[in-house]
Amino acid sequence: MAFGSREYVYFAGQMALSIRYFNPGVLISIIADGHLRYLPEQYVGLFDQVIELEKEDYYTKNRIDPGKAKINLIKYLPYDQNIYFDVDGLCLRDISKLFEIDKFYATEVVGRGGVNDEINYAWWATNQKI
């Protein structure tokens, strides 16, 4: 998903490019808002499908709500088997083994901390809420 600002569209292009490097045959879709028009031309062909994200699925009280978008993601999944990556990352190796995971979801914890510790990757929620 790429929505809310043009930077996420650039991130999505870089993510798609890195996935294509290791897995040229995998189908890649982008779920995006109107910022897709900012996608540099060299990245447009990396996506097999462009899906428009409906505003009511990522806005709450006139504010962008990333959590709401992720909860509504299931409405937009285009394939029988789907893997979702946050676009602010890069693929560093072959992802084909991920399609063999027999679970509804899989995630990786990138850090841990106590309630009084600063957790830099949790910008969207306080430690108390988490």
Indicate whether 42 belongs to any domain.
Answer: yes
- As for how many domains the chain has, the answer is 1
Indicate whether 106 belongs to any domain.
Answer: no
Indicate whether 115 belongs to any domain.
Answer: no
Task: Look up the domain containing 43 and give its range.
Answer: 6-95
Mean pLDDT over the full length of the chain? 86
What per-residue string of b and e applies to 101-119 under the rule 16 or more CB within 10 Å gives b?
Answer: eeeeeeeeeeeeeeeeeeb
Indicate whether 44 belongs to any domain.
Answer: yes
Confidence of residue 103 (pLDDT cuts 50, 70, 90): confident
Indicate whether 73 belongs to any domain.
Answer: yes
Q: How far is CA 21 from the centre of its chain?
A: 18
Indicate whether 85 belongs to any domain.
Answer: yes
CB 42 within 8 A of CB 9: no
Give the global pTM.
0.77
Per-residue pLDDT at 122 exceeds 60: no
Indicate whether 69 belongs to any domain.
Answer: yes
d(CA 78, CA 90): 22
Per-residue pLDDT at 111 exceeds 70: no
pLDDT tens readout for residues 37-71: 888 888 989 999 999 999 999 999 999 999 999 99
Indicate whether 60 belongs to any domain.
Answer: yes
